[in-house]
Amino acid sequence: MTDLSPAGARHFLPPYVLERIASAGSARLSESARQTLLADRQFRARAGGVPLPQGSARRGESARYVHDAEQHQILPGRLVRREGEGDSGDPAVDEAYHGLGATYRLFWEAFERHSIDDDGMALLATVHYGKDYENAFWDGRQMVFGDGDGELFNRFTVALDIVAHELTHGVIQHEAALAYAGQSGALNESLCDVFGSLAKQRELGQSVDEADWLIGKGLFTERVAGRALRSMANPGSAYDDPLLGRDPQPGHMDAFVVTEADNGGVHINSGIPNRAFHLAAMALGGHAWERAGRIWYDTLVDRRLEQDSDFAAFAMLTLDNAERRYGAASTEAGAVREGWRGVGVLT
Protein backbone atom coordinates (compact mmCIF):
# COMPACT_ATOMS: atom_id res chain seq x y z
CA MET A 1 0.00 0.00 0.00
CA THR A 2 1.37 3.43 -0.93
CA ASP A 3 1.48 5.92 1.91
CA LEU A 4 0.73 9.42 0.70
CA SER A 5 0.02 10.84 4.13
CA PRO A 6 2.34 13.54 5.51
CA ALA A 7 2.55 11.81 8.91
CA GLY A 8 2.39 8.15 9.92
CA ALA A 9 4.98 5.59 10.92
CA ARG A 10 8.36 5.77 9.15
CA HIS A 11 10.46 2.64 9.63
CA PHE A 12 14.25 2.58 9.39
CA LEU A 13 14.73 -0.96 8.07
CA PRO A 14 13.24 -1.35 4.58
CA PRO A 15 10.56 -4.04 4.18
CA TYR A 16 12.49 -5.83 1.43
CA VAL A 17 15.28 -6.68 3.89
CA LEU A 18 12.84 -8.21 6.37
CA GLU A 19 11.00 -10.04 3.59
CA ARG A 20 14.23 -11.77 2.51
CA ILE A 21 14.91 -12.89 6.07
CA ALA A 22 11.33 -14.09 6.48
CA SER A 23 11.58 -16.21 3.34
CA ALA A 24 15.12 -17.57 3.63
CA GLY A 25 16.33 -17.25 7.22
CA SER A 26 16.51 -19.87 9.94
CA ALA A 27 13.30 -20.74 11.76
CA ARG A 28 14.03 -18.22 14.52
CA LEU A 29 15.15 -15.44 12.20
CA SER A 30 12.22 -16.01 9.84
CA GLU A 31 9.77 -15.80 12.71
CA SER A 32 11.38 -12.61 14.05
CA ALA A 33 11.22 -11.00 10.61
CA ARG A 34 7.61 -12.07 10.06
CA GLN A 35 6.55 -10.74 13.45
CA THR A 36 8.36 -7.45 12.78
CA LEU A 37 6.64 -7.07 9.40
CA LEU A 38 3.30 -7.82 11.00
CA ALA A 39 3.89 -5.31 13.79
CA ASP A 40 4.98 -2.67 11.26
CA ARG A 41 1.85 -3.14 9.16
CA GLN A 42 -0.43 -3.06 12.18
CA PHE A 43 1.28 -0.03 13.68
CA ARG A 44 1.14 1.90 10.41
CA ALA A 45 -2.63 1.81 10.64
CA ARG A 46 -2.77 3.23 14.16
CA ALA A 47 0.33 5.39 14.46
CA GLY A 48 0.66 8.62 16.39
CA GLY A 49 -1.63 8.19 19.39
CA VAL A 50 0.64 8.74 22.44
CA PRO A 51 0.17 12.10 24.20
CA LEU A 52 3.37 14.11 24.40
CA PRO A 53 4.86 15.19 27.75
CA GLN A 54 5.82 18.78 28.45
CA GLY A 55 8.25 20.29 25.98
CA SER A 56 10.93 22.93 26.48
CA ALA A 57 9.94 26.58 26.82
CA ARG A 58 13.59 27.72 26.70
CA ARG A 59 15.12 27.88 23.25
CA GLY A 60 18.39 25.99 23.09
CA GLU A 61 17.35 23.46 25.74
CA SER A 62 15.86 20.06 24.91
CA ALA A 63 13.20 18.09 26.79
CA ARG A 64 14.04 14.38 26.52
CA TYR A 65 12.01 11.46 27.84
CA VAL A 66 13.06 7.82 27.41
CA HIS A 67 10.66 4.98 28.21
CA ASP A 68 11.10 1.20 28.45
CA ALA A 69 8.47 -1.02 26.79
CA GLU A 70 10.03 -4.04 28.55
CA GLN A 71 9.75 -6.16 25.38
CA HIS A 72 6.03 -5.52 25.00
CA GLN A 73 4.48 -3.73 22.05
CA ILE A 74 3.18 -0.89 24.15
CA LEU A 75 3.78 2.86 24.04
CA PRO A 76 5.24 4.78 25.61
CA GLY A 77 6.10 2.27 28.38
CA ARG A 78 7.72 2.99 31.74
CA LEU A 79 9.58 6.31 32.05
CA VAL A 80 13.21 5.50 32.90
CA ARG A 81 15.15 8.66 32.08
CA ARG A 82 14.24 12.29 31.61
CA GLU A 83 16.09 15.52 30.77
CA GLY A 84 19.05 16.20 33.04
CA GLU A 85 19.24 12.76 34.67
CA GLY A 86 22.45 10.72 34.59
CA ASP A 87 23.15 7.51 32.72
CA SER A 88 20.86 4.64 33.64
CA GLY A 89 23.31 1.83 32.90
CA ASP A 90 21.00 0.39 30.25
CA PRO A 91 22.82 0.88 26.91
CA ALA A 92 19.62 1.21 24.88
CA VAL A 93 18.17 3.82 27.26
CA ASP A 94 21.37 5.86 27.36
CA GLU A 95 22.06 5.61 23.62
CA ALA A 96 18.53 6.82 22.90
CA TYR A 97 18.90 9.69 25.36
CA HIS A 98 22.24 10.81 23.96
CA GLY A 99 21.03 10.36 20.37
CA LEU A 100 18.04 12.60 21.04
CA GLY A 101 20.39 15.19 22.50
CA ALA A 102 22.86 15.07 19.61
CA THR A 103 20.03 15.50 17.12
CA TYR A 104 18.59 18.43 19.05
CA ARG A 105 22.03 20.06 19.16
CA LEU A 106 22.53 19.71 15.41
CA PHE A 107 19.23 21.39 14.57
CA TRP A 108 19.59 24.08 17.24
CA GLU A 109 23.28 24.97 16.98
CA ALA A 110 23.62 24.62 13.21
CA PHE A 111 20.17 25.76 12.03
CA GLU A 112 18.60 27.60 15.01
CA ARG A 113 15.72 25.11 15.14
CA HIS A 114 14.18 24.52 18.57
CA SER A 115 13.34 20.80 18.46
CA ILE A 116 11.23 18.89 15.94
CA ASP A 117 8.53 21.54 15.52
CA ASP A 118 10.79 24.57 16.20
CA ASP A 119 8.64 25.22 19.26
CA GLY A 120 10.32 23.07 21.90
CA MET A 121 8.47 19.80 21.22
CA ALA A 122 9.32 17.05 23.71
CA LEU A 123 11.68 14.39 22.37
CA LEU A 124 10.09 11.12 23.36
CA ALA A 125 11.60 7.66 22.84
CA THR A 126 10.68 4.10 23.74
CA VAL A 127 13.32 1.35 23.85
CA HIS A 128 13.08 -2.44 24.20
CA TYR A 129 9.96 -2.44 22.04
CA GLY A 130 8.66 -5.96 21.44
CA LYS A 131 10.62 -9.20 21.57
CA ASP A 132 13.32 -9.55 18.89
CA TYR A 133 11.72 -6.57 17.11
CA GLU A 134 13.95 -5.72 14.16
CA ASN A 135 13.27 -2.08 13.45
CA ALA A 136 13.08 1.50 14.65
CA PHE A 137 10.48 4.03 13.65
CA TRP A 138 9.02 7.51 14.04
CA ASP A 139 5.27 7.20 14.58
CA GLY A 140 4.31 10.82 14.05
CA ARG A 141 4.93 11.80 17.68
CA GLN A 142 7.76 9.72 19.11
CA MET A 143 10.73 7.42 18.45
CA VAL A 144 10.51 3.64 18.95
CA PHE A 145 13.46 1.22 19.01
CA GLY A 146 13.60 -2.56 18.91
CA ASP A 147 16.43 -4.67 20.31
CA GLY A 148 17.07 -6.61 17.10
CA ASP A 149 17.43 -10.38 16.99
CA GLY A 150 21.04 -10.52 18.23
CA GLU A 151 22.06 -12.69 15.26
CA LEU A 152 21.78 -10.31 12.31
CA PHE A 153 20.86 -7.03 13.98
CA ASN A 154 22.08 -5.34 17.11
CA ARG A 155 19.84 -2.99 19.08
CA PHE A 156 18.56 -0.13 16.93
CA THR A 157 19.86 2.54 19.30
CA VAL A 158 23.45 1.49 18.53
CA ALA A 159 23.97 4.08 15.76
CA LEU A 160 23.43 7.79 16.37
CA ASP A 161 22.50 8.34 12.74
CA ILE A 162 19.55 5.93 13.11
CA VAL A 163 18.18 8.07 15.95
CA ALA A 164 18.72 11.30 14.02
CA HIS A 165 17.35 9.80 10.79
CA GLU A 166 14.06 8.92 12.45
CA LEU A 167 13.73 12.24 14.28
CA THR A 168 14.25 14.05 10.99
CA HIS A 169 11.07 12.39 9.73
CA GLY A 170 9.40 14.49 12.41
CA VAL A 171 11.03 17.69 11.15
CA ILE A 172 9.86 16.87 7.61
CA GLN A 173 6.38 16.18 8.95
CA HIS A 174 6.26 19.68 10.45
CA GLU A 175 7.77 21.38 7.40
CA ALA A 176 7.59 20.05 3.83
CA ALA A 177 5.43 17.00 4.69
CA LEU A 178 6.84 15.23 1.62
CA ALA A 179 4.49 12.50 0.43
CA TYR A 180 5.92 9.09 1.31
CA ALA A 181 5.86 7.58 -2.17
CA GLY A 182 7.98 7.65 -5.32
CA GLN A 183 10.54 10.42 -5.71
CA SER A 184 9.07 12.64 -2.97
CA GLY A 185 9.24 9.65 -0.62
CA ALA A 186 12.83 8.97 -1.65
CA LEU A 187 13.62 12.64 -0.93
CA ASN A 188 11.98 12.16 2.47
CA GLU A 189 14.27 9.23 3.20
CA SER A 190 17.31 10.99 1.76
CA LEU A 191 16.83 14.08 3.91
CA CYS A 192 16.68 11.82 6.95
CA ASP A 193 19.96 10.19 5.93
CA VAL A 194 21.54 13.60 5.30
CA PHE A 195 20.68 15.01 8.72
CA GLY A 196 21.32 11.66 10.38
CA SER A 197 24.83 11.68 8.96
CA LEU A 198 25.32 15.34 9.88
CA ALA A 199 24.30 14.69 13.48
CA LYS A 200 26.90 11.93 13.72
CA GLN A 201 29.60 13.97 11.97
CA ARG A 202 28.97 17.00 14.17
CA GLU A 203 28.98 14.95 17.37
CA LEU A 204 32.32 13.43 16.36
CA GLY A 205 33.72 16.73 15.09
CA GLN A 206 34.44 15.20 11.69
CA SER A 207 35.26 16.95 8.43
CA VAL A 208 33.84 15.61 5.17
CA ASP A 209 37.08 13.72 4.57
CA GLU A 210 37.02 12.10 8.01
CA ALA A 211 33.36 11.01 7.89
CA ASP A 212 32.48 7.48 6.79
CA TRP A 213 29.18 8.56 5.16
CA LEU A 214 27.59 5.29 6.26
CA ILE A 215 24.05 5.03 7.62
CA GLY A 216 23.47 2.44 10.33
CA LYS A 217 27.07 1.41 10.92
CA GLY A 218 27.09 -0.99 13.88
CA LEU A 219 23.56 -2.22 13.30
CA PHE A 220 24.71 -5.43 11.60
CA THR A 221 26.36 -8.11 13.70
CA GLU A 222 29.58 -9.78 12.61
CA ARG A 223 27.52 -12.50 10.91
CA VAL A 224 26.45 -10.07 8.18
CA ALA A 225 28.68 -9.28 5.22
CA GLY A 226 28.19 -5.54 5.27
CA ARG A 227 29.43 -2.25 6.68
CA ALA A 228 26.07 -0.55 7.22
CA LEU A 229 22.57 -0.32 5.77
CA ARG A 230 23.40 2.44 3.29
CA SER A 231 26.38 4.35 1.92
CA MET A 232 25.88 7.96 0.91
CA ALA A 233 29.27 8.10 -0.79
CA ASN A 234 28.78 4.95 -2.86
CA PRO A 235 25.15 3.81 -2.94
CA GLY A 236 24.81 0.09 -3.60
CA SER A 237 28.01 -0.86 -1.74
CA ALA A 238 26.90 -1.00 1.90
CA TYR A 239 26.27 -4.75 2.10
CA ASP A 240 26.38 -7.89 -0.01
CA ASP A 241 25.23 -10.80 2.13
CA PRO A 242 24.00 -14.32 1.24
CA LEU A 243 20.85 -13.88 3.32
CA LEU A 244 20.15 -10.15 3.13
CA GLY A 245 21.11 -9.86 -0.52
CA ARG A 246 22.95 -6.94 -2.07
CA ASP A 247 22.41 -3.27 -1.30
CA PRO A 248 19.97 -2.24 -4.09
CA GLN A 249 20.54 1.52 -4.03
CA PRO A 250 21.45 3.30 -7.29
CA GLY A 251 23.67 6.36 -7.30
CA HIS A 252 22.60 7.81 -10.65
CA MET A 253 19.36 8.42 -12.51
CA ASP A 254 20.54 5.99 -15.20
CA ALA A 255 19.92 3.20 -12.67
CA PHE A 256 16.70 4.59 -11.14
CA VAL A 257 14.57 1.67 -9.93
CA VAL A 258 10.94 1.61 -11.04
CA THR A 259 9.00 -0.51 -8.55
CA GLU A 260 5.70 -0.64 -6.70
CA ALA A 261 7.37 -2.19 -3.67
CA ASP A 262 8.68 -0.10 -0.76
CA ASN A 263 6.20 2.71 -1.53
CA GLY A 264 7.73 3.11 -4.96
CA GLY A 265 11.32 2.51 -3.86
CA VAL A 266 11.63 5.20 -1.18
CA HIS A 267 14.51 3.41 0.58
CA ILE A 268 16.09 2.40 -2.73
CA ASN A 269 16.14 5.51 -4.93
CA SER A 270 17.09 7.73 -1.99
CA GLY A 271 20.64 6.75 -2.89
CA ILE A 272 20.53 9.24 -5.79
CA PRO A 273 19.90 12.44 -3.76
CA ASN A 274 22.13 11.03 -1.01
CA ARG A 275 25.06 10.89 -3.41
CA ALA A 276 24.23 14.37 -4.75
CA PHE A 277 24.56 15.75 -1.22
CA HIS A 278 27.80 13.83 -0.67
CA LEU A 279 29.30 15.19 -3.90
CA ALA A 280 28.35 18.76 -2.97
CA ALA A 281 29.67 18.41 0.58
CA MET A 282 32.96 16.88 -0.58
CA ALA A 283 33.46 19.67 -3.12
CA LEU A 284 32.98 22.29 -0.40
CA GLY A 285 35.14 20.52 2.19
CA GLY A 286 35.30 21.35 5.88
CA HIS A 287 32.29 20.50 8.02
CA ALA A 288 29.30 19.33 5.99
CA TRP A 289 26.71 20.89 8.29
CA GLU A 290 28.11 24.40 7.80
CA ARG A 291 27.44 24.98 4.09
CA ALA A 292 26.00 21.95 2.28
CA GLY A 293 23.83 21.12 5.29
CA ARG A 294 22.72 24.75 5.59
CA ILE A 295 21.57 24.72 1.96
CA TRP A 296 19.70 21.45 2.37
CA TYR A 297 18.04 22.75 5.56
CA ASP A 298 17.06 26.01 3.84
CA THR A 299 15.41 23.90 1.16
CA LEU A 300 13.64 21.62 3.63
CA VAL A 301 11.94 24.63 5.26
CA ASP A 302 11.38 26.47 1.95
CA ARG A 303 7.63 27.04 1.50
CA ARG A 304 8.07 26.47 -2.22
CA LEU A 305 8.89 22.80 -1.58
CA GLU A 306 5.72 20.91 -2.50
CA GLN A 307 4.55 17.67 -0.90
CA ASP A 308 4.91 15.84 -4.24
CA SER A 309 8.24 17.41 -5.27
CA ASP A 310 10.47 15.20 -7.38
CA PHE A 311 14.27 15.10 -7.51
CA ALA A 312 14.53 17.82 -10.18
CA ALA A 313 12.26 20.22 -8.27
CA PHE A 314 14.23 19.69 -5.06
CA ALA A 315 17.54 20.09 -6.89
CA MET A 316 16.47 23.41 -8.40
CA LEU A 317 15.41 24.66 -4.98
CA THR A 318 18.75 23.69 -3.43
CA LEU A 319 20.51 25.59 -6.21
CA ASP A 320 18.29 28.63 -5.72
CA ASN A 321 18.85 28.57 -1.96
CA ALA A 322 22.60 28.27 -2.47
CA GLU A 323 22.54 31.29 -4.78
CA ARG A 324 20.37 33.30 -2.37
CA ARG A 325 22.59 32.61 0.63
CA TYR A 326 26.03 32.63 -1.02
CA GLY A 327 25.60 34.25 -4.44
CA ALA A 328 24.96 32.99 -7.98
CA ALA A 329 28.68 32.79 -8.80
CA SER A 330 29.67 31.28 -5.46
CA THR A 331 31.63 28.12 -4.85
CA GLU A 332 28.64 26.83 -2.89
CA ALA A 333 26.21 27.23 -5.79
CA GLY A 334 28.69 25.59 -8.13
CA ALA A 335 29.15 22.62 -5.81
CA VAL A 336 25.40 22.10 -5.52
CA ARG A 337 24.93 22.31 -9.29
CA GLU A 338 27.73 19.82 -9.95
CA GLY A 339 26.45 17.50 -7.25
CA TRP A 340 23.08 17.13 -8.96
CA ARG A 341 24.75 16.89 -12.38
CA GLY A 342 26.91 14.11 -11.03
CA VAL A 343 23.85 11.94 -10.38
CA GLY A 344 22.02 12.85 -13.59
CA VAL A 345 19.24 14.92 -12.02
CA LEU A 346 20.39 18.21 -13.56
CA THR A 347 22.10 18.56 -16.94
* Per-residue pLDDT band at 54 (split at 50, 70, 90): very high
| DSSP-assigned letters across all residues of 225-240 | SBS-SEESSSTT-SBE
Q: What percent of the chain has pLDDT over 70?
A: 96
3-class secondary-structure state, position 101: helix
- CATH code at 10-174: 3.10.170.10
Do the beta carbons of residue 181 and residue 266 sit within 8 Å?
yes
pLDDT beyond 80 at 119: yes
Q: Of these residues, 166, 175, 203, 332, which one is catalytic?
A: 166
267 has catalytic annotation: yes
Alpha helix (H) residue ranges in 45-119: 91-105, 111
Give residue-wise pLDDT tens across range 240-264. Answer: 999 999 999 999 999 999 999 999 9
Q: Which residues pair with 145 in a beta bridge?
A: 136
CA distance 268 to 231: 11
166 has catalytic annotation: yes
Q: Of these residues, 165, 169, 267, 278, which one is catalytic?
A: 267
For the domain made up of 182-342, give the CATH fold: Neutral Protease; domain 2 (1.10.390)
Task: Domain ranges for the chain, please list them.
Answer: 10-174, 182-342
* Per-residue pLDDT band at 51 (split at 50, 70, 90): confident
